């Protein structure tokens, strides 16, 4: 089997680019988000390709006036890897590492929006966790900050995104996707915090993966100023009280310690919430990499104030946060996903919420 990209001098192994040796959990993913300071714009887009499952899927989800609206698409993975359209959703790579156009054409959400970089891409340390002796996670990811122009229409109302900021990430490798084999072990514990933050003069990036006792298997932090080369910090730390009755953050403090100079402490105050199941993450029906049908499309709308924080599918969130560092104020998101116990936050059990 061959791929049209085989005509380009980009190979890193002796196989065609149409062949992926990483098993059923191989994936290749795009993610974008955008938001305004007042919360009137808050959206995210995801698109994934699963070469050894033969599946591609995408979703566009918007928080608007207290409700979250989502469009889900899925189908057979295209044989041409340059095809980054899945049904009603398309991501156009106008200039790699610089400019991207996203189009959605559905009766619930439609529009065209353009992402333009505010920073260079930040390559995070490789994610690798082979707990219990099987390849659970092994992937590369980078994050890039940007600004948005254009507009979308949601539930019949036009929303201009001009002036909104956000970020995108690209990741590929191996992680649990699709319907797991019946003999596969259940993921016993997972802790993830991610805080990409936009300020007027630059950005800050923070993420951690903890084991149940709070020790780390991955962390990263970066500081950027315009399009200058990003500065990777020496270490990061955090404090995150959990809101009672949930596995969501009540607030958070992140600390970035550069190799030179004083530690940077940023306080995060949640403003709005985005349920990640609106992009397929943990969704009971539209799980990433799961086969739906040829040319599949569906939509869903939920009232955020009515979401029960108890069920597993509602634990994974991005919270729009106001970021304060002294007199410096910015805007960003805090993504939280906690499965199983986590000693530093006091969470116990597999899905138990905070007492």
For the stretch 232-264, pLDDT in tens is 999 999 999 999 999 999 999 999 999 999 999
Query: Residue-wise over 307-327: b if at least 16 C-beta within 10 A, else e?
Result: bebeeebbbbbbbbbbbebee
Whether the predicted pLDDT of 12 surpasses 90: no
Sign of the CA dihedral with 5 first, then 32, 342, and 220 last: positive
pTM above 0.75, yes or no: yes
Whether the predicted pLDDT of 56 surpasses 60: yes
Name the one residue in this structure whose structure tokens are 């995060």: 268
Q: What is the mean pLDDT of residues 335-340?
A: 96
- Identify the pLDDT of residue 182: 55
CA 299 distance to own-chain centroid = 20
Rounded distance, CA 32 to CA 297, Å?
A: 20
Query: Residue-wise over 132-145: b if at least 16 C-beta within 10 A, else e?
Result: eeeebbebebebbb
What are 128-172's pLDDT values in tens digits? 887 654 558 889 999 999 999 999 999 999 999 999 999 999 999
Asked whether 179 and 209 are in contact (CB, 8 A), the reply is no
- Identify the pLDDT of residue 17: 79
* Alpha helices by DSSP H, the chain: none
Q: What is the mean pLDDT of residues 3-31?
A: 85
Residue % of the chain over a pLDDT of 70: 96
CATH number of 4-177+185-345: 2.40.370.10
**Which residues fall within 8 angstroms of residue 320, CB to CB, at 6 or more apart?**
35, 39, 42, 270, 271, 272, 273, 274, 331, 332, 333
What are 63-90's pLDDT values in tens digits? 999 999 999 999 999 988 899 999 999 9
Q: What is the average pLDDT score of the chain?
A: 94
Residue % of the chain over a pLDDT of 90: 83
What are 257-287's pLDDT values in tens digits? 999 999 999 999 999 999 999 999 999 999 9
Name the phi and psi angles at 38, rounded to 5. -90, 0
Q: Domain extents for the chain?
A: 4-177+185-345
């Amino acid at each position: 089997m061959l791929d049209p990209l085989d005509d380009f001098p980009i190979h890193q192994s002796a196989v065609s680019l149409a062949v992926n040796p990483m098993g059923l959990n191989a994936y290749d993913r795009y993610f974008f988000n955008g938001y305004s300071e007042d919360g009137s714009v808050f959206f995210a887009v995801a698109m994934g390709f699963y070469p050894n499952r033969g599946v591609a899927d995408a979703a566009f989800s918007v928080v608007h006036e207290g409700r979250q609206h989502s469009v889900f698409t899925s189908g057979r993975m295209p044989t041409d890897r340059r095809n980054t359209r899945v049904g009603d959703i398309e991501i156009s790579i106008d200039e790699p590492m610089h400019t991207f156009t996203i189009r959605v054409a559905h009766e619930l959400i439609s529009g065209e929006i353009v992402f333009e970089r505010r920073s260079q891409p930040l390559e995070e340390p490789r994610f690798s966790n082979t707990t219990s002796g099987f390849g659970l996670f092994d992937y590369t990811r980078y994050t890039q900050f940007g600004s948005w122009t254009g507009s979308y229409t949601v539930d019949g109302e036009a929303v201009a995104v001009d002036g909104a900021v956000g970020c995108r990430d690209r990741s590929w490798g191996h992680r649990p996707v699709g319907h797991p084999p019946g003999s596969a072990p259940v993921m016993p514990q997972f802790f993830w915090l991610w805080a990409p933050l936009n300020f007027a003069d630059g950005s800050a990036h923070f993420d951690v993966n903890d084991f149940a006792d709070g020790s780390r298997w991955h962390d990263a932090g970066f500081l950027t100023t315009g399009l200058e080369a990003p500065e990777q910090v020496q270490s990061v730390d955090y404090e995150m009280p959990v809101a009672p009755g949930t596995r969501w953050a009540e607030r958070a403090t992140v600390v970035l310690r550069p190799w030179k100079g004083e530690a940077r402490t940023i306080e995060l105050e949640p403003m709005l919430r985005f349920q990640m199941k609106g992009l397929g993450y943990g969704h009971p029906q539209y799980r990433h990499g799961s086969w739906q049908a040829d040319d599949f499309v569906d939509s869903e709308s939920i009232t955020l104030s009515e979401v029960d924080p108890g069920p597993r599918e509602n634990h994974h969130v991005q919270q729009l946060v106001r970021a304060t560092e002294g007199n410096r104020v910015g805007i960003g998101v805090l993504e939280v996903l906690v499965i199983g116990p986590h000693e530093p936050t006091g969470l116990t059990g597999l899905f138990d919420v905070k007492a």
